[in-house]
A and B are shown apart, each in its own frame.
Chain A
Amino acid sequence: MQNRNHPQSISQGLLVLFLLSPFLVLFFHFQMTTRWDWNEFLWALKNSIWQGFWSAVLSCIGGLLLAPGLIFCENRFSKWFNFNIFFLLPNFLPNLFILIGLMSLIDPFPMGSVGVVIVHAFINFGLCGVILKEVMKTKLSKLSDVSFILGTSRGHFYLRVVWPLIRKDILQVFFLVFVTAFSSFAIPLVVGGGKGINLEILIFEKIKIYNDWSTAVLISGVQSLMLFAFSLINFSANTVVDVNPHLQSRYLESRLSFYLFSFLYLVFFYSYFSGVWEGVASWADFELYTEEITSGIIGTLTIAIGVGCGIFALLMLITRLHQTNWFHRFLNGYVAPSTALIGFAFLVLGPNTSLYILAKIILGLMLSYVIYLYKMGYGNYLIELQRYKEKASLLGANDNLIFWKVIFPLTHKRMFLYSGIAAFWATGDYGISKMIANRDISLALLSETFLSHYRIGFSSLLSFILLVIGLLVFLAFRGVQIVVSRKINY
């Protein structure tokens, strides 16, 4: 069935080409004459692996400890507030504010590779906690209640039930963080120290110091290939699609975890919000820069909604074309090149006038996010749905009918969720926008400009406004999802 569908294979190929386009553009733009140095490559690789591994280990441990706390608060308070967002916030804050917050928590802050691991772990364990909470709720709620009724001890339940059932999910989360930390740039540059140089910084050095784009592209390509090879290790976890909302999940929840992590985050955010408060004191700047801020807000909204819609379209396309063949392996293993390379690839591609710039930023961000979102669980969810496709196909439904009547109703919630997350991320983008834009078209860029004019308080305030806009855009996607869900159900 898979091989007879040539248009589908061609479409898959075109999508893969789109995802590989930054590499292809740079490959053809620069003459590929490289000066390869094995020693520095292996050294940077060692650091990347070290940082990636320990960041992933700590994030997973943090996520595992946080997940029971999130289940507790979801069981108790979910009617009033979605706490997941609170724990995901470090993912959306500019690095400077993360670093200042962490340096307030940990004094003296260890610079070097250890510092890089701590920052990565802090940024990611909230995300790990949210993903693992979902996994635990969907896979273990029923078993938790059964174990509770049968009088099994909590320790026995975790050792004999939880661990065997979710260890592959933990490995997947590990891989997700590993990939992020492995290819991290800004944090190793600030806190990594010279000995903490990783592959991304090596790529940057090749571009900045030696103007050697071809070696930079090659290192980035090799980095992607290695992560791809790593992804071939089969730790695909099976997910359960439905969960009964009335289950108590008593053994899965932990009051202590919730209060402990909430306290930690509140201490962290105290530093951030004190900065925002300082920004409120310089409120007069708002009047002076009303036009720029308004323009920045419109630009941010345009980029965020554009990216959200683009990601939704890409996820629809991926869902429509999805097969558990090379296509899935590619999407699961491929890692997009660094923001500097994506940004530069789009900069050299075609004209750089206003509309093109906007389109390039949106496309660049889509390229950067879609693969990450696929690894966040969307890919596994599609594999889980494969059996529905097969059943429908056996009953004689054609591909279009299967997609619109079977797959889309099951996937649209997640598509909207991931599109909302991508839109949220896009509000705070600095890397790709800065590379492509020819002026401060978004609030994130404006915030950085304020920072470069001594105005850290006002910059904090703008970053807070960014968070609010990001949240609103995320909720807008959620709202549209609710409307679409109603339409589908009726």
Chain B
Amino acid sequence: MQHFIIFIFSIFFVLVLSFFNRKAVVDETQKTLRVYGYSSFTSKLGPGYDLKRKFEQICNCKVEFVEAADSGVLLQRIKLEGATLGADLVIGLDQYDLQKALSEINWRKLDFSQLEIDEIIRPALSNNYFVPFDWGVIAFVGRKEDPLPAPKSLKDLLKPIYKSKIALMDPRTSSPGMQFLSWVYDAMGKDEGEKYLEQIMNQAHSFSPSWSTAYGFFSKRQVSYVLSYLTSPLYHQLIENNHSIEAFKFSEKHPIQFEFAGIPLDCKECSLAEEFINLMLSDEGQKIIMNKNFMFPVIKSAQVGTPFESLAQFNHLAEFKIPSVSDVDFLIKSWTSIRRGDKNAK
């Protein structure tokens, strides 16, 4: 038994050492910039990895990414660790998270009003604490070869031919899902929007907890349409050489989703955090973000000469606004009560 215990502990010890080995070479004199975000940004698949490499070449510092499952956990994590370990930069909050983030954490003021960005997205710069670094247009995506006629409006989605053909997301767990909910209310108003949502509950194939699950249903042909981004077909064209995926233009103006970066007030490496944001907003940084996230860059020049340029001409866009905490609260509570079939709930 003793041999067994020694054997197992040896294996475990070797694995733990291997696990931490890649972090072993650390220059103690270097400063560390701690960046909080989601794995879709910070992983090697996302833009975070390339940005980190670029930044470390010029800053004489080390960038450490800290991931969180969702915005709630992200904010809790910053509250827990911010004071001790330091939280210098937060990346990936969307417009529905901003007010909540402002109410829970104190942020440094940022001024990027002089950035050369597309006028249609300028309102995203109107707040004093967060700066947008990419944006996307929410749209339904389908296949060109699909025998069904392409839907042209939100109301089209209620037609019997689309029954169980559409994958949507739960707005409580997914930001595109939240965008869809807001899209419905903005386009139809409160009363009609609620009626629409009651009908779409039975019409949709599923309301997945994440965009990736819903897109998985679409990729595996369980559904014909999925709520995604105007730029989603570009991934299939550029990476898979598949030109059969298309995004549909709806008669209702399409919502825009922004991703923001912000610096907590009790940051430890505040100037490094600002420099990192500057890199993200540089031409080079924006190209990295665009090519990895398949989202539009906020700096206009970054998309010139790329396949994103023509798509960015899409101007059938809803007005951008940063919803208040009570707006978000209303949307989620309303959705929850309709989803439960509890019409009388406030």
Q: A interface vs B, CB < 8 Å?
A: 43, 95-96, 99-100, 103-104, 108, 111, 186, 189-191, 193-195, 197, 204-205, 207-209, 211, 271, 275, 288-289, 291-292, 295, 298-299, 301-302, 305-306, 309, 344, 347-348, 351-355, 358, 434-435, 437-441, 445-446, 448-456, 480, 483-484, 487
Contacts and interface: CB of A to CB of B under 8 A. Distances in A.
B43 A484 contact: no
A435 B12 contact: no
B44 A292 contact: yes
Given A440-B67, A452-B39, 11 more contacts: A100-B217, A100-B222, A103-B222, A289-B44, A289-B45, A348-B76, A352-B80, A440-B43, A452-B210, A453-B46, A480-B7
A271 B222 CA distance: 11
Interface stretch (B154-162, B267-275, B297-305, B335-343): B335-343
B65 interface: yes
Interface residues of B, number: 68
B212 A452 contact: yes
A287 to B, nearest CB: 12
Nearest to B46: A453
Contact of A449 (B43, B170, B213): B43
Interface stretch (B19-27, B250-258, B313-321): B19-27
Contacts of B43: 292, 439-440, 446, 449
Given A301-B15, A305-B15, A354-B23, A208 B45 contact: no
B336 to A, nearest CB: 6
Contacts of B8: 305, 309, 480
A209 B172 contact: yes
B44 A305 contact: no
Given A208-B173, A298-B19, A449-B40, A456 B77 contact: no
Nearest to B64: A438
Nearest to A281: B240
B86 to A, nearest CB: 12
B206 A191 contact: yes
Interface in B58-101: 65-69, 72-73, 76-77, 80-81, 84-85
B201 interface: yes
Contact of B220 (A275, A441, A446, A483): A275
A352 B77 contact: yes
Top 4 nearest A-B pairs (CB, nearest first) are A194-B339, A451-B212, A302-B15, A452-B212
Contacts of A435: 69, 73
Residue of A103, A209, A353, A438 most packed against chain B (CB within 10 A):
A438
A353 B81 CA distance: 10
A347 B40 CA distance: 21
Nearest to A208: B172
Given A194-B201, A205-B172, A454-B235, A189 B209 contact: yes
B206 A190 contact: yes
